[in-house]
Structure 1
Amino acid sequence: MATAPSAVADPEVVAIEPVVAEAPLEGVPPPPDGAVVSPPPRTLTTPDGWTLTLAAKDETQVASAPLTTALSSREYVVGGTFNGSLDGPSSDGDPGGTIEVGYQIGCGIDMSTSNGVTLAGTAGLNSSIGILGTDVASPLPEGILPGVGANIGGGVTVGLKPGIINTVPVTKKEFEGSEPWVMISNFHVKIDGCVGESFIRSYAFLTRSTRMSDAILAYYGETKVV
């Protein structure tokens, strides 16, 4: 018996429309230069029933040319708002503590604690005496020729160490209440002795203090390569 060949349908062609970028919403300003996306808020629950929350928003980090014009210097213009929140039993009264904000800058190679660039050199003199006019008949020389030689050497030594993290505190404020905050705008941070690629991130520490205890919550921003 002969079997009729099965028909294979042509694949369906689906037209893909190009993605068009959405136009900015009218009345909404564009993000500032160097805008950094902040991580989600950090929370901490203490044994005595308090909840600490620490977050940041509107963070900016822009690399700036240092005033020293040195290739081993790093300078950045930073900003942002850092908010803390303390929620607990009302019978304990108003909480109190400190909120600290700053930045950490990581360097691939550190020159600040090494000898840096050192020029090394050596010099010396070598004396010698030569004998002239010696013949077979007389064992005594007919003349003596003194000689002086010099050797000079030099080199360049570069002292480098593995990278380090530089912590640059901006402010540390004592507060009383449940909603502490710190706002930073157009603040310059600078370090020296940094060679190679560098990284920067923000940090904040929220501390709730009582007569018997301290509860500390830390926040770290996104690491930015600059």
Structure 2
Amino acid sequence: MNRFAAVAAACMTLTFAAATPLALADPPVDPAADPGPPPDNGVVASAEPGVVTSPDGWTLTVVAKDETQLPVAPLTTAVSSREYLVGGTFTGTVTGSGKTSLNGGTLEAGYQIGCGIELGQVRLIGQAGVNVGGLSFPATGPVFAPALSFPLSGTIEIHPKPGTVSTVTVDKKTFKAAPVRVTLKDTHIKVDGCVGQSFIRSYATLTSSTTDTDDIVAYYGVTKSV
């Protein structure tokens, strides 16, 4: 009986040891295996075209493609300046069988830059004074030793204002007959006085003219936060 119990205990011990998983150490992490997010190349998606049909029967379309918006360090190195390197192709067309004669029009392309907080008034408040002293009363009698001091103090007051939207027109093309196109490549635009987060988007406005009318359609690109 004791021999049977010893054999059974040995079998149970062997089975338990075989079922125990082996503890393996985590493999070392290679820093080169995780390069992180890729750098911003400035490429942005274009929004849907702007389309309108005039009461005269003309269809105006303005579209953009190959847009880029890359934030760069301002040449002034001022922390309140925002500068971007932008590009894109903006095209306007006028199609259809209108009842009036077209006299051409314009295609304007540019960018709108929104600033979360705008730098308002900055004031420097200072005070200066002159102190004269040095009179003492020792046991031998009063003694006057001239002493001068010039205390200075100052404070800086900054008054931020709610953010604003700045419109930067890059080009305005006049045409006699559509289609009309404006292409931008590596164009610098900037705004000053911005101390908060900034936002940028492209825009293009197509104007088609007749003798007595102007029809306008606008395109607004995808907003990019910086």
TM-score, length-normalised on structure 1?
Answer: 0.70
**Does the alignment pair 1:55 with 2:60?**
no
Counterpart in the other structure of 1:120? 125
The 2-side partners of 1:91 and 1:223 are apart by: 37
User: Which residue is 2:42 aligned to?
Assistant: 34
Unaligned runs of 5+ in 2: 1-39, 132-149
Counterpart-to-counterpart distance in 2, 1:76 and 1:204: 18
Instruction: Note the C-alpha offset of 1:154.
Output: 3.0
Select the residue among 105, 109, 112 that pairs with 1:101: 109
Q: Deviations over 1:169-195 (max 9, x none)?
A: 001111011211110001000111110
Look up the equivalent residue of 2:67 and give its one-letter code: E
Q: Is 1:81 the equivalent of 2:81?
A: no
* Counterpart-to-counterpart distance in 1, 2:186 and 2:69: 9
Classify 1:91/1:196 alpha carbon distance in 2 versus 1 (closer, same or farther; 3 Å). closer
Matches within 5 A, 1:40-189: 40-89=48-97, 92-93=100-101, 95-111=103-119, 114-116=120-122, 118-123=123-128, 154-189=154-189
Partner-residue secondary structure (3-state), 1:36: coil
Runs of 4+ aligned structure 1 residues displaced above 4 Å come to 90-95, 123-126, 150-153
Partner of 1:202: 202
CA distance 1:92–1:34, shift in 2 (3 Å): same
Checking the alignment, whether the CA contact within 8 Å between 1:86 and 1:95 is kept in structure 2 is no
Shift of 1:40: 1.2
2-structure distance, mates of 1:178, 1:222: 25
CA RMSD, 1 decimal: 2.6
CA distance in 2, matches of 1:169, 1:94: 25
Q: Is the 8 A contact 1:79 1:184 kept in 2?
A: yes
Code of the residue aligned with 2:51 in structure 1: it is: T
Q: Distance in 1 between matches of 2:184 and 2:194?
A: 25
Contact 2:116–2:194, Cα closer than 8 Å, also in 1: yes
Structure 1 contact 95–178 (Cα < 8 Å) conserved: no
Q: Equivalent residue of 1:154, what SS?
A: strand
Uncovered stretches (5+) of structure 1, i.e. residues with no partner: 1-31, 127-149
Count of residues in Structure 1 that have an aligned counterpart in Structure 2: 177
Code of the residue aligned with 1:193 in structure 2: it is G
CA contact (8 A) 2:60 2:93 kept: yes
Identity of aligned residues (%): 54
Deviation track 1:56-81 (CA, whole Å, cap 9, x = no partner) reads 00000001111111111111000000
Q: Distance in 2 between matches of 1:93 and 1:110?
A: 46
Q: Distance in 1 between matches of 2:102 and 2:199?
A: 38
